[in-house]
Amino acid sequence: MNTNVFIPELNNHDVHELWFQQDGATCHTARATIGLLKVTFGDRQISRFGSINWPPRSSDLTPLNYFLWGYVKSLVYADKPQTLDHLEDNIRRVIADIRPQNLEKVIENWTSRLDYIRASR
């Protein structure tokens, strides 16, 4: 998927300052995967074996985990896609429809989560 879909799609955009973040799942940290991502993102990679290590069990600290994936999944599967093309179309549509205001709320929530963590040491 990275080689055939993700990286070619990135090549259609200016990603020189884009960071890549992924969790520490074993399939996401295979040597081949990490190598490909290092070529693409250099030191702008947050991952188990990336330039910035993924904090263990950090789902509450990661907007991708506590918001984005659940939000996207709920909308992508709302009409129960029956084909891969339908699923891909839904994913593209849902991602494209995410508004900056939604992301601003996510960042505000994330900031308050970090404040709680700092306060509890």
State CA 26 to chain mean position distance: 16
| Cα–Cα separations (whole angstroms), residue 17 to 21, 34, 64, 65, 85 | 13, 18, 18, 22, 31
pLDDT over threshold 80, residue 16: no
Rounded CA separation 48/34 (Å): 9
Q: Outline where 5-99 has alpha helix (H).
A: 7-10, 31-41, 63, 69-76, 84-97
pLDDT, tens only, 28-38: 778 888 888 88
pTM of the predicted protein model: 0.50
pLDDT, tens only, 53-97: 776 656 666 777 677 888 899 999 999 999 999 999 999 999 999
Rounded CA separation 48/56 (Å): 9
Task: Indicate the residue type of 92.
Answer: R
Sheet holding 45-47, edge to edge: 20-21, 45-47, 52-53
- The pLDDT value recorded for residue 73 is 92
